[in-house]
Amino acid sequence: KLATARGLNQETCGSSLSHLLGLESTDEDDLYEALDWLIARQTRIENELAKKHLKEGALVLYDVSSTYFVRVASASPKGKTCPLASYGYSRDKKSGATPVGFPDLGNAHQERGKQQIVFGLLCNREGCPIAVEVFEGNTSDTTTMALQIEKVRHRFGLSRIIWVGDRGMITQTLINQEFSTREDLDWITALTAAQIKLLAEQEVIQLGLFDEQNLVEVESVDYPGERLIACRNPITAESRAQKREKLLQKTEEELEKIVQATLREKRALKGADQIGLRVGKVINKYRVGKFFELEITNNSFSYTRKPQGLKAAAALDGLYVIRTSVDTEVLDAPATVKAYKSLSQVEQAFRSYKTMDLKVRPIYHHLESRVKSHVFLCMLAYYVEWHMKQALAPILFDDEEGTPIDWDGVTPVKRSKKALSKARKKRTAQNLPVHSFSTLMADLGTITLNTIASKLEGADLTFLKITQPTPVQQKALDLLGVSLFVPSK
């Protein structure tokens, strides 16, 4: 907040924003007061956003992320920190969570990590943010979602909603506790890799199903009253098969060296423990050991591929399964897959949250209300950014024509001819340079308000002048509906 205050101060400002808004004398305390003012109005603002962007029967996208704290001694007296700050599973790998596959080292490990908060973002199906909520850093995904269901029902006054969440969000436990008892709530999620593997072993899913199409609905007694939509992306399948084959070949090259080492006449590699040590290093390096049959004795070593294991792995390449309670009459199979893939819009929002766009992290506040206000302010900033991107699409690399109507939801989306042309030529149809959102904002930032002072003897003439926008800058301003004007002194 100190940097923001300095950026607004008349003597240290980097833009004319403070002059236009009358904030030249703003200090750090004023900004903290503004945060306090904002958090007191979060509920009302979110209610209005929901009224504008959601309606009965709408798709609601929900996901969670986390961000970490930095403790500042001067801001946190006696070492105190925000009550929301806790050690937990880190979505950005910067907290004190225990990594998968490693032993839990308790407090010793946590001291080396960072405390964090969890925040859940709720968007409409286009990815427009509606609401955000902050939770303690050790809160589970499913716990946060149960609270969002109540928020949408009671605060937003919407009873019929289709919730879209990933496989870690909408779990069987959540389905049993929150969805199964309410006929007006539907959901869309995906199966885990283990669940898909089990369906393949039960032959509910077979490769032959995808000979003529990339998605097919299947049924399983393990999921009564639910729809399962099996999807196979042939491009992903081919990529994974090629990657696995390369790893297998690299592994065989290294294993063959060990075989030859056991056969050489001089200083042959001997001893099951020594041979096993060499083999283990190779297996751990390429991580495809489960596809090999290994035989180690005191003076020999041999290996062969496991054809059945490779066949089973190939059957799962590029495969994922959408699980939903939504009736076919409401959403057919392709529409359901597209709805699930809409979650990428929330992932994009989190990327904007955490990068140079919005800078949600790290968090320096230690008051709970100001941490919440900080995250909410970032959501509002992303709301503005989202709408700006929609308006500026003609001069951005984004595909302004959106998703093709005939997209099946499985294969990669084909970009429109206009988008391909922009990407290839780096120019629009009007021959204007194409930008990313960040570079366009930087370009617009070069428009300056200049103070012109006369140096003529006896003349005391001072006036303000705005630099002339370039063609692409003027196009951006027109798309945003913004007019430049010289402010009064």
The pLDDT of residue 73: 47
The pLDDT of residue 110: 37
* Nearest Cα to Cα of residue 234 among 248, 219, 251, 213: 213
Beta bridge partners of 322: 190, 229
Please give the structure tokens belonging to residue 352: 């904007």
Contacts of 132 (CB under 8 A, 6+ apart): 119, 120, 121, 122, 375, 376, 378, 379
Task: Determine the distance from the C-alpha atom of residue 173 to the mean position of all C-alpha atoms in its chain, rounded to a whole number.
Answer: 24
* Nearest Cα to Cα of residue 353 among 345, 361, 344: 361
Question: What does the DSSP assignment read for 74-141?
Answer: TTSGGG---TT-B----SSS-SSPPPTTS---THHHHHTS--EEEEEEEEETT--EEEEEEEETT--H
The pLDDT of residue 327: 95
The pLDDT of residue 78: 47
Please give the structure tokens belonging to residue 76: 């946190």
Query: What is the full per-residue pLDDT of the chain (489 aa) written as tens digits?
Result: 667 777 777 767 777 777 777 777 778 888 889 999 999 999 999 999 999 999 999 999 999 988 887 765 444 444 456 888 888 777 765 444 433 333 333 333 333 467 888 999 999 999 999 999 999 989 999 999 999 999 999 999 998 999 999 998 999 999 999 998 888 899 999 999 999 999 999 999 987 888 778 899 999 999 999 999 999 999 999 999 999 999 999 999 999 999 999 999 999 999 999 999 999 999 999 999 999 999 999 999 999 999 999 999 999 999 999 999 999 999 999 999 999 999 988 888 887 876 656 667 667 777 899 899 989 999 999 999 999 999 999 999 887 766 666 666 677 777 778 888 888 889 988 899 999 999 999 999 899 888 888 777 777 788 888 899 999 999 999 999 999 887 765
The pLDDT of residue 298: 95
Sheet holding 58-68, edge to edge: 129-136, 116-124, 58-68, 161-164, 185-190, 319-324, 227-232, 215-218
* Nearest Cα to Cα of residue 401 among 409, 392, 393: 393
Burial class of residue 217, CB neighbours in 10 A (0-12, 13-18, 19+): middle
Question: What does the DSSP assignment read for 277-340?
Answer: HHHHHHHHHH--GGGEEEEE-SS-EEEEE-HHHHHHHHHHTTEEEEEE---TTTS-HHHHHHHH
Please give the structure tokens belonging to residue 448: 């300056």
Task: Determine the distance from the C-alpha atom of residue 419 to the mean position of all C-alpha atoms in its chain, rounded to a whole number.
Answer: 23
Q: Which long-range contacts (CB under 8 A, 24 or more apart) does 84-87 make?
A: 84/117, 84/134, 84/135, 84/136, 84/137, 84/368, 84/371, 84/372, 85/115, 85/116, 85/117, 85/136, 85/137, 86/115, 86/116, 86/117, 86/136, 86/137, 86/138, 87/113, 87/115, 87/116, 87/137, 87/138
CA dihedral (38, 41, 47, 49) in degrees, to 10, reads -30
Please give the structure tokens belonging to residue 335: 């529409």
Do 218 and 228 meet the contact criterion of CB atoms below 8 Å apart?
yes
The pLDDT of residue 171: 93
Token pair 């206000």: residue:
373
- Give the number of C-alpha atoms closer than 13 A to the C-alpha of residue 285, restricted to the C-beta side: 15
The pLDDT of residue 261: 95
Contacts of 289 (CB under 8 A, 6+ apart): 251, 283
